[in-house]
Amino acid sequence: MKTLYSVHPEDFKAYQTERIRERFLLDSLVKPGGAEFVYTHYDRMIVGAASPSSSEVILENDEALKAASFLERREMGVINVGAGGTIRVGDRSFALDKLDCLYIGRGETDISFSSNDASQPAVFFILSAPAHATYPTSLLKAADATPAALGSKETSNERTIYKYIHKDGIQSCQLVMGLTILQPGSVWNTMPPHTHDRRMEAYFYFDVPETGAVFHYMGQPGETRHVLVKNYDAVVSPPWSIHAGSGTSNYGFIWGMAGENMAFTDMDAIDIRHLR
pLDDT at 128 over 80: yes
Kindly state the average pLDDT of the residues 204-231.
97
Q: Are 179 and 251 in contact (CB under 8 A)?
A: no
Report d(CA 33, CA 71) in Å as an integer: 22
**N- to C-terminal Cα separation, the chain:** 35
Report d(CA 75, CA 234) in Å as an integer: 20
pLDDT tens-digit series, residues 232-247: 999 999 999 999 999 9
Query: Into how many domains does the chain fold?
Result: 1
Q: Is 108 helix (H, G, I), strand (E, B) or coil?
A: coil
Domain containing residue 229: CATH number? 2.60.120.10
pLDDT for 260 equals 83
Q: Closest by alpha carbon to 202, among 257, 162, 245? A: 257
Report d(CA 200, CA 196) in Å as an integer: 7
Torsional class of 73: left (φ above 0), alpha (ψ -120 to 50), beta (otherwise)? alpha
Full-model pTM: 0.96
Q: Closest by alpha carbon to 51, among 141, 116, 140? A: 116
Report d(CA 127, CA 140) in Å as an integer: 16
pLDDT for 196 equals 87
pLDDT tens-digit series, residues 77-115: 999 999 999 999 999 999 999 999 999 999 999 999 999
DSSP string, 82-93: SS-EEEEETTEE
Give the domain range for residue 102: 2-274
Q: Is 210 helix (H, G, I), strand (E, B) or coil?
A: coil
pLDDT for 268 equals 84
pLDDT tens-digit series, residues 135-161: 999 999 999 998 999 999 999 999 999
Q: DSSP letter at 117?
A: B
